Amino acid sequence: MSDVVSPFDLSGKAALVTGGGRGLGRAMAVGFAQAGADVIVVARREDDLAETVRLVNAAGREAHAVAGDVTDPAVAPHAVEACVREFGRIDILVNNAGLLTVGPIEETPAEDWLKVLDVNLMGTYRFCAAVAKAFKQQGSGKVVNIASVLGTFGVGDATAYCTAKAGVMGFTRSLAVEWAPHGIGVNAIAPGLFDTDMSAGVIANQDAYTMIMAGIPRGRHGRPEDLVGTAVYLASAASDHVIGQVVHVDGGATIA
Ligand X SMILES: NC(=O)c1ccc[n+]([C@@H]2O[C@H](COP(=O)([O-])OP(=O)(O)OC[C@H]3O[C@@H](n4cnc5c(N)ncnc54)[C@H](OP(=O)(O)O)[C@@H]3O)[C@@H](O)[C@H]2O)c1
φ, ψ (nearest 5 deg) of residue 94: -115, 115
- 197 binds ligand X, rule: CB under 6 A: yes
What span, in angstroms and rounded, lies between the C-alpha atoms of 164 and 225?
24
Q: State the minimum distance, in angstroms, from the CB of residue 104 to ligand X.
A: 20
Among 17, 64, 66, 98, the residue binding ligand X under the rule CB under 6 A is 98
Nearer to ligand X, 22 or 142 (CB): 22
Sketch the per residue contact string, 30 through 59, with ligand X: x for CB under 6 A, - otherwise: -------------xxx--x-----------
Nearer to ligand X, 38 or 48 (CB): 48
Cα distances (Å, whole numbers) of residue 83 to 147, 162, 204 = 24, 31, 38
Among 22, 61, 126, 248, the residue binding ligand X under the rule CB under 6 A is 22
Among 53, 124, 128, 148, the residue binding ligand X under the rule CB under 6 A is 148
- 99 binds ligand X, rule: CB under 6 A: yes
- 218 binds ligand X, rule: CB under 6 A: no
What span, in angstroms and rounded, lies between the C-alpha atoms of 187 and 56?
24
Range 208-235 burial, b when 16+ CB lie within 10 A, else e: eeeebbebbeeeebbebebbbebbbbbb
Q: State the minimum distance, in angstroms, from the CB of residue 248 to ligand X.
A: 10
Packed helices 75-87 and 123-138: angle between N→C axes, nearest 10 degrees: 40
CB neighbours of residue 44 within 10 Å: 15
Q: Which residues pair with 39 in a beta bridge?
A: 15, 63
Q: How many residues bind ligand X (CB under 6 A)?
A: 29
Check residue 6 and report its DSSP letter. P
Q: State the minimum distance, in angstroms, from the CB of residue 3 to ligand X.
A: 37
- 126 binds ligand X, rule: CB under 6 A: no
Measure CA 182 to chain center: 22
What span, in angstroms and rounded, lies between the C-alpha atoms of 43 and 66?
7
Catalytic amino acids? 161
Among 9, 51, 62, 69, the residue binding ligand X under the rule CB under 6 A is 69
Q: State the minimum distance, in angstroms, from the CB of residue 2 to ligand X.
A: 35
- 194 binds ligand X, rule: CB under 6 A: yes
Interface positions with ligand X (CB under 6 A): 18-19, 21-25, 43-45, 48, 69-71, 96-100, 119, 146, 148, 191, 193-194, 196-199
